[in-house]
């Protein structure tokens, strides 16, 4: 299972599942990722420590 926010692989059952109001299901490896995406509305692409940011940087 992959974290929706940081892109890190994690074992199902250890992370968190979040169902958005539009019925989209998001998976988070930790409360840190959940907080950043849900509460702080941060974009993975613009957040330094995510895989999305690293990929974007290489291009």
Residue ranges in contact with Zn ion by CB under 5 A: 3, 5-6, 8, 29, 33
Angle at 40 between CA 39 and CA 43, to 5 degrees: 120
Closest contact distance (angstroms) between CB of 40 and Zn ion is 14
Look at residues 31, 29, 38, 41 and name the one whose alpha carbon lies nearest to residue 3. 29
For residues 8 and 53, which CB has a smaller minimum distance to Zn ion in the complex?
8
Closest contact distance (angstroms) between CB of 57 and Zn ion is 18
């Amino acid at each position: 299972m992959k974290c929706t926010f940081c892109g890190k692989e994690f074992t199902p059952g250890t992370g968190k599942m979040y169902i958005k109001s539009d019925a989209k299901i998001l998976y988070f490896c930790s409360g840190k990722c959940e907080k950043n995406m849900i509460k702080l509305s941060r974009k993975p692409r613009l957040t330094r420590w995510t895989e999305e940011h690293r990929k974007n940087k290489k291009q």
